[in-house]
Amino acid sequence: MQEPGYRVVWPLGKAAYQPVVLKPRPSSLRGLTVCELSDYGFRAEEIFPIVRESLLKRYPGLKFIEYSSFGNTHGQHEVEIIAGLAEKLKEYGCDNVISGVGG
């Protein structure tokens, strides 16, 4: 006896995003303002000070806006903080962002 055949449909859903084109990176960090974003976890409070110290050794004069200026990006107010992030980055003159810590 021949087995029946089944014509089956796709079980997923359409992807619902618009592609984001990343801005070209500068060739050096010299003279730039680095802004920090933190989820206040996974030893961010130990990691970020070492990052600052190490980067300043390589790029003296580098300016940092510390993560406390932005609030916890994965805390109780994540939604509001991320919604207002573009404005804050502009306000602080951020040239780039170091975001952490995923773990």
Partner 1 sequence: MARASVAAEKAGVPTVSIVTTGFLGQAQAVAQALGVQNLPIAEYPGVVATDSTEDLKKKVSGIVINNIIKGLTGPVVQVARPKEPQPGDIVFEGTLDEVQEFFTRRLWTDGLPIIPPTPDRVEKFLRYTGRPSGSVIGNLLPENREATIWNVAVNGVMAGCRPEYMPVLVAIVEAIADSEFRIQDAGSTPGWEPLIILNGPIIKELNFNYEAGVMRVGRQANTSIGRFLRLYMRNVAGLRIPPMSTDKATIGETFNVVLPENEDVVAELGWKPFSVLRGFRRGENVVTVQSVVYASAPIASGGDKAHDHLDTFVEVIGGAMAPWTHMAVNWGKFYPLLVISPSVARTIAREGLTKNDIARYLFDNTKVSASSMERLAWQGGITSFDLRKMVEEKQIPPGYYESSDPTRMVPVFLRPDWIGVIVSGDPGRNRSRGYVQNHEQGPPVSRKIELPADWKQLLASKR
Residues making contact with partner 1 (CB under 8 A): 3-29, 35, 37, 39-47, 50-51, 53-55, 58, 73-76, 78-79, 81-82, 85-86, 89-90, 94-103
Closest approach of Cβ 35 to partner 1, in Å?
8
Give 39 or 63: the residue with its C-beta nearer to partner 1.
Answer: 39
Q: How far is the CB of 60 from partner 1 (least distance, A)?
A: 15
| Residue linked to tokens 């006896």 | 1
CA dihedral for 7, 11, 12, 13, sign (positive or negative): positive
Minimum Å distance from CB 103 to partner 1? Answer: 4
* Shortest distance (Å) from residue 31 CB to partner 1: 13
**Beta carbons within 8 Å of 92's beta carbon, 6+ residues apart:** 33, 35, 65, 69
CA distances to 38, 42, 53 from 103, rounded to whole Å, are 12, 6, 22
Nearer CB in complex with partner 1: 14/61: 14
Whose tokens are 């804050």? That residue is 88
